[in-house]
Structure 1
Amino acid sequence: MRVVTWNLWWRFGPWRERQKAILAVLRELDPDVVGLQEVWAAGAENLAEWLADELGLHCTWAPSPAPERWRKRIEDPDAGSVHIGNAVLSRWPVVERETLLLPAPPDLADGRAALYARVAAPSFDIPFFTTHLTSAGHASAVRRAQVTALAELVARHRGGTPFPPVVTGDFNAWPDSDEVRLFGGTRTASAVPGQVLYDAWDYADPTAPAATWTPENPYAARLLEPAVRIDYIHVGPPGPIGEGHVRHIRRAGHGPVDGVWPSDHAAVVADLAEDESAII
């Protein structure tokens, strides 16, 4: 089962051209389940729904309750009607969902949320989540509160299936940060006692390029920040016959398509096992 996470950079930059490049990358990846962040919608147009239609996937979308802070950041005559949110695309139907507004102080409260979607795959349900955490560099404490709320959401919905929870998203945090370690629960005490969520990149080739935010990307280069991985796929411990074991993981969307970079972030792609063939 192929899982993708990708921050799509909302309606920034040449967004019309970018959406075609996003589609081209996703079409080539042929994913089964996708977690998307910074998805735009305006009137009858919705980027996630358009992608789902083009790819033959199901879609569930969760708009931010506070789009006004985002609208101030773009020069667009239609900005007043543009929404932002998270979405899940899936090869199989979504049979249950919940949106959780993540905690943030007033100065950072721009509607960041987590979306839970229970995906009815042929052999078992998949508890799938996608999220977008606060981006301010100094806001590690805020992100720790957010990953605690996210971990509690996962704990409420992880049961009833042999497949482990899959959590995707833009955490806006370095791999060795307090918030990422807190969420995973393997390098410090877990946000939810007893709950472990592996960073799927721990299964990657150690020599593979890992940065999903990098000055190689011209949209990111303008901020003069270091190259780092801030986008994640987390997976719970494998099921009884190896369900959810991470077989492969890599970046995608980290270069131009017909001269256009799809987003300011690279995507992360993981192939997860579905059966006992994953057991070593």
Structure 2
Amino acid sequence: MRVVTWNLWWRFGPWEERQKAILAVLRELRPDVVGLQEVWAADKGGNLAEWLAGELGLHWTWSASEAPGRWQRRIGDDTVGIGNAVLSRWPVVECAALRLPVPEEFDDGRLALYARLDAPGHRVPFFTAHLTSVPDGSAVRCAQVDALARFVAGHRRGTDFPAVVTGDFNARPDDPEIRLLGGYGTDPVAAGPALVDAWEHADPAAPSATWDGANPYVGASGVPGVRIDYVHVGPPGPGGLGGVRAVRRAGDGPVDGVWPSDHAAVVADLAGV
């Protein structure tokens, strides 16, 4: 099963050209399931996830932010919504959304989206989340990770396939919120099963930064390259079901001169489907 997670940078920058580049990358990857963050839906122009799904022949589901005002003010357009989406080769038979906890002064409606996928032989509990990017917000993200872990635990039951949790966590691999999700080096650990960072299976020499100064949308920020986007997977099921086979970046260069997003995507191949 090929899993992709990607933050699509909403309606920022040359979004019409970027939309085409995003599609080109996903078409080449041929994913089975995609977790998307910063997906737009406009009164005029439709929903980006719906359009991508139609172009790629995939099923889709989406959940909108309940507090998009901070985003809308940045582009001066209150007719455009923002949210998370899942694209899937297989039907989505169940879905739910969780608004992640955050202090009111920082609330921009970030959420986690759950979709249960009717894959051959196994139903797959799939999640995609977008944690706060508040500077020095590790404590806030830890609270969000705890809420996410409880959300995952509540929807994990009834299948041998491990939970697959994707998203933009706005945190480095050694930050407390990521260690909390993995259940190591923290006290207490997050609720629910410990989740393994798929990147542990990557080629050590492979470039890992998903927020990379080589990207012109990022370079102006002066922030050094870091990995902040993840595919996490629960303990493998019988016979290694859902185990990580390979992982790498994608969408990490221009397509016909256009960078698709300010984030690179992460691609993980899992066993068993």
Q: Distance in 2 between matches of 1:186 and 1:105?
A: 26
Q: Match of 1:144, SS?
A: helix
Shift of 1:102: 0.3
- The residue number in structure 1 matching 2:56 is 55
TM-score between the two structures when normalised by the length of structure 1:
0.95
- The residue number in structure 1 matching 2:70 is 69
Deviation digits for residues 6-42 of structure 1 (CA, Å, limit 9, x no counterpart): 0000000000000000000000000000000000000
Shift of 1:181: 0.3
- The residue number in structure 2 matching 1:29 is 29
- The residue number in structure 2 matching 1:237 is 235
- The residue number in structure 1 matching 2:42 is 42
Letter matched to residue 2 of structure 1: R
Q: Describe how 1:99-248 pairs up with structure 2 within 5 A.
A: 99-189=97-187, 190-192=189-191, 195-248=193-246
Shift of 1:186: 3.1
Letter matched to residue 219 of structure 1: Y
Letter matched to residue 41 of structure 2: A
Q: Distance in 1 between matches of 2:105 and 2:211?
A: 24
Q: Distance in 1 between matches of 2:99 and 2:91?
A: 24
Q: Distance in 1 between matches of 2:75 and 2:252?
A: 24
Q: Distance in 2 between matches of 1:178 and 1:253?
A: 27
| Gapped regions of structure 2 (runs ≥ 5) | none
Q: Distance in 2 between matches of 1:123 and 1:54?
A: 26
Q: Describe how 1:1-40 pairs up with structure 2 within 5 A.
A: 1-40=1-40
Q: Match of 1:173, SS?
A: coil
- The residue number in structure 2 matching 1:258 is 256
Letter matched to residue 247 of structure 2: I
Aligned residues: 271
Letter matched to residue 163 of structure 1: F
Q: Distance in 1 between matches of 2:215 and 2:134?
A: 20
Letter matched to residue 155 of structure 1: A
| Gapped regions of structure 1 (runs ≥ 5) | 276-280
- The residue number in structure 1 matching 2:269 is 271
Q: Match of 2:50, SS?
A: helix
- The residue number in structure 2 matching 1:278 is none
Letter matched to residue 34 of structure 2: V
Q: Distance in 1 between matches of 2:220 and 2:85?
A: 27
TM-score between the two structures when normalised by the length of structure 2:
0.97
Q: Distance in 1 between matches of 2:52 and 2:185?
A: 37
- The residue number in structure 1 matching 2:82 is 84
Q: Distance in 2 between matches of 1:80 and 1:144?
A: 30
Q: Distance in 2 between matches of 1:274 and 1:208?
A: 25
Q: Match of 2:26, SS?
A: helix
Q: Distance in 1 between matches of 2:207 and 2:186?
A: 26
**RMSD of the alignment, in Å?**
1.0
Of the structure 1 ranges 181-190 and 30-39, higher mean CA displacement relative to structure 2 is found in 181-190
Q: Match of 1:241, SS?
A: helix
